[in-house]
């Protein structure tokens, strides 16, 4: 639908497509007659956009509803450009495109996205509640357990549930499509893990060099690994309440690579059993599997404490 207006904003031409749409004659549309079919709620905004564009001699873009010949209101995207002859402004030439279906599809998508966001939020809330209930149940069972080994295993399980819930909640808030700065997230995870274990005398030292952004799914796996490594260090590297240090480093060893290191100055790694047991070796079995899922190469070193190094590619 093509239109033309002179320097005084009076329309002096519309094409046949315009007339077919409105069902009116050319004489009825010329001048300011076309405004009679603009929706009353949009008219002031439409005319204001026209006036500003004409005054500033700049490109025009406006959306408004225009009544079709069958009486229905259709959304129009109106675009115009100023015309000059010999450097003198002579008016505008523009076009109107029916965007009703596009706007309806966009609104439906936004409504669907809002509904999905609500459902995900509700799911996250329920998962948190269930996890907290599970942790509380495990702690209660630990308090009632007659076997000290069973009690310790139950408390460690409760701690894992609590920390995993914190990680899940942080990643949910980041958004499933968002990139996550792993340095910031892993530092938060390490501090939470050390705090929840309740071990006095341990100090967390953090070193972050560079910024590495990963998708939430992959960042979550790395967060779970750091969680396990810090908890394992706090619970097993410093027996009899010894003081010590747990170190987290996030750095880039080379182009396209990132490295996460969790180290401690404790007693080092014990000989790992063939399968997980109640004496605290579960984390050593979980970490390699999580590293594989995260596409990260894992190296464990037990010289003067324990050092776990994760190296992986970044975009």
DSSP state string for 134-184: HHHHHHHHHHH-SSHHHHHHHHHHHHHHHHHHHHHHHHHHH-TTSEEEHHH
Distance separating alpha carbons of residues 81 and 92, to the nearest angstrom: 5
What residue has token string 């008016």? 91
Residue 275 is predicted with a pLDDT of 45
CATH annotation of 2-98: 3.30.450.20
Second-level CATH architecture of 177-315: 2-Layer Sandwich (3.30)
Residue 282 is predicted with a pLDDT of 56
Residue 82 is predicted with a pLDDT of 94
* DSSP summary character for residue 33: G
DSSP E strands: which ranges in the chain? 2-6, 11-14, 60-67, 73-85, 88-98, 179-181, 202-208, 213-215, 244-251, 257-264, 297-301, 306-313
Residue 240 is predicted with a pLDDT of 83
Low-confidence ranges of the chain (pLDDT < 50): 273-280
Q: Are 298 and 287 in contact (CB under 8 A)?
A: yes
Distance separating alpha carbons of residues 117 and 69, to the nearest angstrom: 40
Burial class, 112, CB count within 10 angstroms (exposed 0-12 / middle 13-18 / buried 19+)? exposed
Distance separating alpha carbons of residues 238 and 203, to the nearest angstrom: 12
Residue 310 is predicted with a pLDDT of 95
Quote the pTM value: 0.55
Residue 49 is predicted with a pLDDT of 92
Tokens of 219: 């960042």
CA-to-CA dists, residue 278 to 45, 177, 221, 227, angstroms: 71, 38, 23, 18
Tokens of 255: 């182009």
């Amino acid at each position: 639908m093509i239109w033309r207006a002179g320097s005084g904003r009076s329309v002096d031409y519309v094409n046949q497509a315009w007339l077919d749409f409105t069902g009116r004659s050319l004489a009825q549309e010329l001048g300011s007659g076309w405004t009679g079919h603009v929706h009353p709620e949009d008219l002031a905004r439409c005319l204001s956009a026209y006036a500003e564009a004409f005054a500033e001699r700049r490109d025009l873009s406006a959306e408004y509803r225009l009544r079709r010949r069958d009486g229905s209101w259709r959304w129009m995207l109106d675009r115009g450009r100023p015309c000059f002859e010999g450097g003198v402004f002579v008016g505008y030439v523009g076009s109107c495109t029916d965007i009703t279906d596009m706007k309806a599809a966009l609104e439906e998508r936004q409504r669907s996205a809002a509904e999905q966001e609500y459902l995900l939020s509700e799911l996250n809330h329920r998962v948190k509640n269930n996890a907290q209930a599970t942790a509380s149940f495990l702690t209660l069972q630990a308090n009632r357990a007659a076997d000290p080994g069973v009690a310790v295993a139950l408390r460690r399980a409760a701690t894992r549930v609590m920390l995993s819930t914190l990680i899940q909640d942080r990643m949910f808030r980041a958004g499933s499509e968002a990139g996550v700065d792993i340095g910031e997230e892993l530092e938060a995870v390490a501090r939470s893990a050390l705090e929840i274990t309740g071990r006095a005398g341990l100090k967390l030292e953090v070193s972050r060099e560079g910024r590495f952004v990963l998708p939430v799914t992959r960042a979550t796996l790395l967060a779970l690994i750091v969680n396990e490594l810090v908890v394992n260090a706090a619970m097993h590297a410093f027996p009899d309440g010894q003081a010590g240090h747990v170190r987290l480093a996030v750095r880039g060893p080379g182009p396209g690579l990132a490295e996460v290191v969790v180290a401690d100055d404790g007693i080092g790694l014990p000989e790992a059993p063939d399968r997980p047991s109640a004496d605290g070796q579960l984390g050593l079995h979980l970490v390699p599997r999580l590293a594989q899922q995260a596409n990260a190469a894992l190296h464990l070193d037990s010289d003067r404490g324990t050092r776990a190094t994760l190296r992986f590619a970044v975009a």
